[in-house]
Structure 1
Amino acid sequence: MTRLVVVGAGITGLAAAFEWRRRRPDDEIVVVEAGDRIGGKLDRIRLAGTWYDTGPEALLGRVPEAVGLVEALGWGDRLVAPATTQASVVLPEGRFPLPAGTVLGVPASADGLDGVLTPTGVARVRAEVELPPLSLPDGDVAVGGLLRERLGDEVVDRLVEPLLGGVYAGRADELSLAATMPALAAQVRGAGSVLEAAAAARDAGSRSRFDADGPVFVTVDAGIGALPAALVEAARAEVRLRTPAHGLRRTAGGFEVSVGTAAAPEVLTADAVILTAPATKAARLLGEVAPRAVDPLRGIPYASMAVVAIAFPVQDVPAGSGLLVPPVTGRLVKGVTVSSAKWPHLAGGEALLVRSSVGRFGDESQLQRSDEELAADVVADVAELLGLSRPEPLETRVARWGGGLPQYLVGHPERVAAARAAVGEVPGLAVAGAAYEGVGVPACIRDAHRAVDALA
């Protein structure tokens, strides 16, 4: 029998345990988690009597990993497609539909940008093809730096910032093009313009989709937050909560993982270890067994954010699936999802269900309020943005992601490659998680499978 020890019971760790069990049904699997629950950022609550996600609330439906995992759990018939995905962006001049056909906000042409950009901004985009051909320095570049130079500030401030802020809680002027927009980065060096590269990236993405006829996004009727418990059951893993890992060393037969509190330390022996902890924690654990991975992982900072879930009295809200709110508005919230309109299984109840996110990298001061203060401020912002006629909430819940989102700063791919190379020299050891090559649920599952492939 082989024993696998997984450090971290978020979606990456649990997906790795599940995949390991599928391939090696007789092995022993132990998952250790410092916190008091499984799932990491995946969580759900009862809001107005229904299950409601306070973590990720949608899965990409046109990539195979998340949908495949749900189907492997026997939950394929519980996948739900959105009733609408039409979002709008809130700007100082008003509210405008989010233009179609962009690559994370990067347009492929000036068509459809009227309103969301000023006439001057539209003209700047249209004129990009007349600029000298693209000439990029070797290595990675910042998203904001490239786009401001080629397409102007408005594209970054009004389109790219709200989308990247929603995914990464980061800032376009600091985020890596190669890490956050790999499809665009793959095209941009061979293109004469950013518009040309965006069009090529969009078309390549359309051709490579897992299910081109299916919905772009899906969710689970019981909440994505229901997946962790199902994974634990299916993986038949032993999960130890409130059990931090604080040491890792190699032995002649494999590894010893030091776990537990100072008052009750314990050493677990393992034939294989998968570290899915955040980068800073992984760096501490790798100091003895893979020291060359430490500095690259320490170079990955994290942002904090919060999700405020709100149940309002039922009322009409002509806002589609929700609103994107860029920093140029000066608002506290950075996004609003009208869940009752977006998801059919949440419609028709006795409450209007809405969620809003707060917090960007470097703006942690916004979160330094009590849950009551934060909820009250967010409710006021959301009620005004949605134009609610009945703005008094029936219920509010605050979920905080302290240090929850890794920042893919310029040079991130090189840091990840260096860390993976160092870990790859240690037989039986792998790292995986949101810190590496994608923060979404499908990307975390993909990275879990990569780790299992390397070891199993």
Structure 2
Amino acid sequence: MSSRVRIAIVGGGISGLTAAYRLRHALGPDAHIDLVEASGRVGGVLHTTTVGERAVDVGAEAFIVRRPEALELVTELGLADRIVSPTPRRPAVWSGERLHPLPTPALMGIPAGPAVVDGLVDPDDLDRMTGEPERPLRWEAGGDIAVGQLVAERFGPSVVARSLDPMLGGVYSSLAGDIGVREALPALAARLDAGAPSLTAAVGDLITAGAGVSGPVFGALVGGYAVLLDALRTAAGVEPEILTPVTELAPSTEGWSLGFGAGRDPRSYDGVVLAVPAWRAGDLLHQCAPELSAPLRAVRRASSVVVSIALAPGTVLPEHSGVLVGTGEGLRAKAFTFSSQKWAHLAGPDLSGADRPVSVRASFGRFGAPVPDESTEPGVADRLRREALEDLDEVCRATGVAPVSSRVVDVYVQRWDDGLPVYAPGHLAAMSQVLAARPSRLALAGSSYAGVGVPACIGRAGRAAAELLDDLA
């Protein structure tokens, strides 16, 4: 292919960097690849910063290793020796002012049977679960409803609030009632499509099918996601242009033209990858492809906040990897991760032999309940710090552990305004139609199209690069 090919990547998150890397590998060192990012840094919702004199991730902290995309990319970049697995500690669920074991076996919070959630959910719902296999199941093959609606109808609302919501809320920043079955659990939808006689049977079949899979589910990187982002940038041979928002996208004789606002000349490219949220892509396509713009702009968005806390070395926490909070259970935080207990590399002494601070992260906000910003509520960051520590103290007291708020050495608050798309019922079908109708030499990547997790974003970015290469060929 001609060495004069010019490509633009709009968006410097994991999707944009992966697309740039794949395109560089295919097109060679002479191809001209621009990567432009509207914010002041690359990484998108992946962000590694220093809290308590240690590098911690204040966005996503882990990836699923049973999906191949992230694991293969990390290995390809020579970073396999940095992958670590969680410790054996398990998370707990906060309900009724105390901690309960995380229901297991379960499918993303949908319990395999009533015994799994005995003591956690209401007695009426235990009875409802017991009789569920005998009740007729109404499911339209190929259709989609909210996973919360399905589980509430079959197992009862307390199962949703105390098992399903806590699990899905951490992944999607949304409650189960806002997330589609087909979006969150495509394998479950497929079982129901195939005629599973009950939800109990479908969930049991899937749990049994996965029982033979060994090894950890999640992995993280020593040094945080910054290690992966830096390696991608180097391997892609790009120097990201930060603080460079794209204001206009239009077809040109060569392919596409990007505008950058008053005082800056437009640039023409042979191909463009829009690695930005769906609604931002919709804004850019509003004039040139209104039929694609409308469904992209209609995607709703969820916001959240992470409060990263460093506690004095030796601080004792409840003996779990974290706490998932049931819906309506009184705490302001929706979850805690006891990072130093979840990841062994964050515990113990540093290279000099000095004891490390104990790392905890608290999460706030979700779709429909965003955290106000400073313009709406001055001092909101201080309030979140206080509430995170008050809630953490309450969890500690409930488990017989001394309160920890007096042992804080550092706190960092990270906002993720409009950080994730909402995977509502029908979302994947709508995005599939958009991808099928994309204009030539314009590809779409990001968390809006095929899943919000890091492996899904890496996979979609690779497919976007391949689609663009096919168009150019």
Distance 1:143 1:123, change over 3 A: same
Give CA-to-partner distance per residue, 1:143-199, whole Å, 9 cap, x none.
Answer: 121111111111111111111111111122222111122121111222111111112
Structure-to-structure mapping, 1:12-411, within 5 angstroms: 12-26=15-29, 27-92=31-96, 94-136=98-140, 139-189=143-193, 190-205=195-210, 212-259=213-260, 261-262=261-262, 264-313=263-312, 314-348=314-348, 349-365=355-371, 368=377, 369-387=379-397, 388-392=402-406, 393-411=408-426
RMSD: 1.7
Give CA-to-partner distance per residue, 1:34-58, whole Å, 9 cap, x none.
Answer: 0000001111111222111101111
Q: Which moved more, 1:284-293 or 1:51-60?
A: 284-293
Distance 1:204 1:253, change over 3 A: farther
Instruction: Name the aligned partner's letter for residue 51 of structure 2.
Output: L
**What CA distance in whole angstroms lies between the structure 2 residues aligned with 1:300 and 1:386?**
39
TM-score, with structure 1 as normaliser: 0.94
Residue ranges of structure 2 left out of the alignment (5+ in a row): 349-354
CA contact (8 A) 1:140 1:178 kept: yes
CA contact (8 A) 2:305 2:371 kept: no
**What CA distance in whole angstroms lies between the structure 2 residues aligned with 1:179 and 1:290?**
26
**What CA distance in whole angstroms lies between the structure 2 residues aligned with 1:144 and 1:138?**
18
**What CA distance in whole angstroms lies between the structure 1 residues aligned with 2:72 and 2:238?**
20
Instruction: Name the aligned partner's letter for residue 335 of structure 1.
Output: A
Aligned counterpart, 2:466: 453
Give how far 1:81 is off.
1.0
Identity of matched residues, %: 38
| Counterpart secondary structure, 2:299 | coil
* 1:6 corresponds to which of 6, 9, 17: 9
CA contact (8 A) 2:98 2:395 kept: no
Instruction: Name the aligned partner's letter for residue 401 of structure 1.
Output: W
Instruction: Name the aligned partner's letter for residue 255 of structure 2.
Output: G
CA contact (8 A) 1:179 1:412 kept: yes
**What CA distance in whole angstroms lies between the structure 1 residues aligned with 2:416 and 2:253?**
39
CA contact (8 A) 2:10 2:274 kept: yes
Instruction: Name the aligned partner's letter for residue 352 of structure 1.
Output: V
Give how far 1:29 is off.
1.3
Give how far 1:343 is off.
0.6
Give how far 1:295 is off.
1.2
Structure-to-structure mapping, 1:411-450, within 5 angstroms: 411-423=426-438, 426-450=439-463
Give how far 1:85 is off.
4.6
Instruction: Name the aligned partner's letter for residue 368 of structure 2.
Output: G
**What CA distance in whole angstroms lies between the structure 2 residues aligned with 1:49 and 1:338?**
17
CA contact (8 A) 1:290 1:422 kept: no
**What CA distance in whole angstroms lies between the structure 2 residues aligned with 1:394 and 1:382?**
15
Instruction: Name the aligned partner's letter for residue 131 of structure 2.
Output: A
Aligned counterpart, 2:352: none
Residue ranges of structure 1 left out of the alignment (5+ in a row): none
**What CA distance in whole angstroms lies between the structure 1 residues aligned with 2:251 and 2:210?**
42
| Counterpart secondary structure, 1:395 | strand
**What CA distance in whole angstroms lies between the structure 1 residues aligned with 2:270 and 2:210?**
39
**What CA distance in whole angstroms lies between the structure 2 residues aligned with 1:206 and 1:121?**
26
**What CA distance in whole angstroms lies between the structure 2 residues aligned with 1:227 and 1:24?**
22
**What CA distance in whole angstroms lies between the structure 1 residues aligned with 2:334 and 2:319?**
15
Distance 1:365 1:341, change over 3 A: closer
TM-score, with structure 2 as normaliser: 0.91
CA contact (8 A) 2:333 2:387 kept: no
**What CA distance in whole angstroms lies between the structure 2 residues aligned with 1:213 and 1:145?**
32
CA contact (8 A) 1:321 1:337 kept: yes
**What CA distance in whole angstroms lies between the structure 2 residues aligned with 1:137 and 1:119?**
31
Give CA-to-partner distance per residue, 1:94-115, whole Å, 9 cap, x none.
Answer: 2111122211111222232212
CA contact (8 A) 1:43 1:226 kept: no
**What CA distance in whole angstroms lies between the structure 1 residues aligned with 2:22 and 2:421?**
24
Instruction: Name the aligned partner's letter for residue 82 of structure 1.
Output: P
**What CA distance in whole angstroms lies between the structure 2 residues aligned with 1:49 and 1:401?**
23
